[in-house]
Structure 1
Amino acid sequence: MAALALAAGAPVLAAPADAAAQRLAPYTCKQGYVWREATAGDLVCVTPAIRSQTAAENAAGPSNQQPGSVFCKQGFVWRETRPSDLVCVVPSSRTQAKSDNANAPYRLVDPGATPQGGVSVRTESHQLGGGGYLYATGTGLSANQSVRFYAVGIGTVGPYSLGSLTANAQGALSGWNYVADMRCRAQQTGPATIVVLDQGSGTVTTGGITYAFWC
């Protein structure tokens, strides 16, 4: 399914046919991008050419496997748009998939409108006031993969990169982990939304809000 495009700077949201369509609305891509759909539920926004390439790879994947196994023939590697994606592709396609995952938050109309995921955040105030320290914990992430954090709603800037952590072998951030030192901004008049990217799958969710940028 193609992502809903933008028109005149606003998302074109046709009346959804069912509840499922409504749930997918937060993952609306910016103009010029569509959902990759490498696997079920893959809503990473890519160019139409990459989506076409991905569909062709899915069709050709079995012919690139060693007979009777999931391992790839010489010259091919698993695409790994997410850990379960074992479609055999040329190495450049895997590199492309990792790049698209890393850029996922920047290609959404509003990454701050995505649903709450398995990661939660909290802010501890600076002792002298103004700003604060961001901490995160959570589960349901790609094992041993980078988890990146962004702030959305800081003036006209966004997503604003804050820092990253690495999920453990169980796909979790065990305990509360330090992410970033956030400083207040003179023009900030409300909270910012913290957006979480599971870089191993390209999944974008929200982790909560922070008032640290509000002086």
Structure 2
Amino acid sequence: MRGKRKVDEKAGALWRMPAWPAAVVALLASLVVVSSPASAADLPYGPYTCASGYVWREAYSGDQVCVTPAIRTQTATENALGPSRREPNGGPYGPDTCKQGYVWRETRPSDRVCVPPASRDQAYSDNSSAALRLADPGATPHGGVSVSTSLNQLGGRIFANGSGLTPNGTVRFFAVGIGTTGPYGLGTLTADASGNLPGWQYVADVWCRSYQTGPATIVVLDVKTGLVTTAGTTTAFLHCG
């Protein structure tokens, strides 16, 4: 799919209420959530709809990491030139050994398209920013990681465990739906050699926000693949004392 991915704005419904007592009206007003996360059905291209100005990279079938249009064009060119940049008779890294001056692109571990080193750096940078470039990262499906929260007087402490991650890969955590302009960065963990986060590993301490009206969604980014998923919710941001 080409062109910019845009989010349809969902207008809130206007309720016509009878003349209820002022105390009841005030109570209802206090329960209103100013903005609610979009669901995948609200997004024109599904849960991985890109924010305005970004498009899917399409380095391989199913690659939905959001990049600039220029990088998608560059990626298509690299795919076309890749075979000519391999050693025709293979080499120390097998049949996909690159010619001198080229390296594997590694948009995911199995991506062995030969590119200049700057393109591999670009792929890593784009993967690392994947959660920040989605129209609503909180609308992505639940992945193999789950979170739990230990509440305290100031907010809470978030822990994670799970599987299905890139072995030995970096895993970044974000919170969405806490009134910020974008995903709020939490902690970073490293998956083990089997792609697991064993036990309940500490992610971050978070503090309550007086304006918070509902749970925050925790988003997980597998940096080596750029895959963004959700891991559940936390009430730590609204737990004030």
What's the TM-score, normalizing by structure 2?
0.80
Summarize deviations over 1:166-185 as a string: whole Å, max 9, x none.
11111111111100011111
* Structure exhibiting the larger radius of gyration computed from Cα positions: 2
Secondary structure of the structure 2 residue equivalent to 1:27 = coil
Gaps of at least 5 residues in structure 2 are 11-42, 90-94
Q: In the alignment, does 2:181 pair up with 1:171?
A: no
Tell me the equivalent position of 1:111. 137
Q: What amino acid sits opposite 1:97 in the alignment?
A: A
Task: Give the corresponding residue for 1:82.
Answer: 108
The question of 1:101 aligning with 2:101 is answered no
- Name the counterpart of 2:54: 33
Report if aligned partners of 1:4, 1:28 keep a CA contact under 8 Å in 2.
no
The residue type equivalent to 1:6 in the other structure is K
Q: Give distance in 2, aligned partners of 1:162 and 1:70.
A: 37
| CA–CA distance in structure 1, aligned partners of residues 75 and 6 of structure 2 | 23
Distance 1:210 1:49, change over 3 A: same
Looking at structure 2, the residues matched to 174 and 113 of structure 1 have their Cα atoms a distance apart, in angstroms, of 25
Task: Tell me how far apart the structure 2 counterparts of residues 2 and 146 of structure 1 sit (CA, whole Å).
Answer: 30
Which of 213, 217, 222 is the equivalent residue of 1:189? 213
Q: Distance in 1 between matches of 2:200 and 2:3?
A: 35
Which residue of 68, 80, 99 maps to 1:73? 99
Any gaps of 5 or more consecutive residues in structure 1? 12-21
CA distance in 1 between partners of 2:214 and 2:103 (Å): 46
Q: For residues 1-215 of structure 1, what are the structure 2 equivalents within 5 Å?
A: 1-2=1-2, 5-6=5-6, 10=9, 25-68=46-89, 69-126=95-152, 129-214=153-238, 215=240
Contact 2:150/2:156 (8 A) holds in 1: yes
Note the alpha carbon deviations across 1:67-106, whole angstroms, 9 max, x for none: 2411111100000001111111000000000010111111
Question: Does the CA-based 8 Å contact 2:6-2:44 persist in structure 1?
Answer: no
Quote the offset at 1:57 in angstroms.
Answer: 0.6
Q: Is the 8 A contact 1:3 1:29 kept in 2?
A: no
Deviations 1:99-146 (A, max 9, x none): 1011111111100000001111111112xx341111111111111111
CA RMSD after TM alignment: 1.8
- Number of aligned residue pairs: give it: 202
One-letter identity of the residue aligned with 1:78: W
Give 3-state SS (helix, strand or coil) of 1:101's partner.
Answer: helix
Q: Secondary structure at the match of 1:205?
A: strand
Aligned mates of 1:2, 1:208 — CA distance in 2: 31
